[in-house]
């Protein structure tokens, strides 16, 4: 699966869609595929602050548990409540219905990759 060109990507396999002063955050197809069937998602509450390169929650799968690392700084303004009852939405549509949180940005995101650079990053991780 190719990574959407309109998104930015972190080395820890989160994606970000910047929409003005807001960002939508999720995990990539590569990440969900590596995890396997996702069984549980722990997300922050609306109003919580997130900091780039810091944990903001976790996902659990049949294979492993993995921390979610924020690619941006800001305040959580929305949480994908549907994932509480249907975490498998992340497996089914990582770049769509499987989004995790929406953040009101407090500064420009830094150190993120475009789709081509992220694909190279994933190739290097598989070796």
Q: What CATH number does the domain containing 119 carry?
A: 2.40.50.100
User: Structural domain tally of the chain?
Assistant: 1
Q: Is residue 3 part of a domain?
A: no
Q: How many CA atoms lie within 13 A of 107 on its CB side?
A: 11
Q: Is residue 2 part of a domain?
A: no
Q: How confident is the model at residue 127 (pLDDT cuts 50, 70, 90)?
A: low
Q: How confident is the model at residue 1 (pLDDT cuts 50, 70, 90)?
A: low
Domain that holds residue 58: 8-125
- Find the mean pLDDT for residues 96-116: 96
């Amino acid at each position: 699966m190719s990574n959407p060109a309109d998104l930015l990507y972190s080395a820890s396999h989160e994606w970000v869609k910047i929409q003005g002063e807001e960002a939508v955050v999720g995990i990539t197809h590569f990440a969900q595929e590596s995890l396997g069937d996702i069984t549980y998602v722990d997300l922050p509450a609306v109003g919580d602050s997130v900091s780039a390169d810091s944990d903001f929650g976790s996902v659990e799968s049949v294979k492993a548990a993995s921390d979610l690392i924020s690619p941006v700084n800001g305040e959580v303004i929305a949480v994908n409540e549907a994932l509480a009852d249907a975490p498998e939405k992340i497996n089914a549509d990582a770049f769509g219905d499987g989004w995790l949180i929406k953040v009101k940005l407090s500064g420009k995101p830094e150190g993120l990759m475009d789709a081509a650079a992220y694909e190279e990053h994933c190739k290097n991780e598989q070796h």
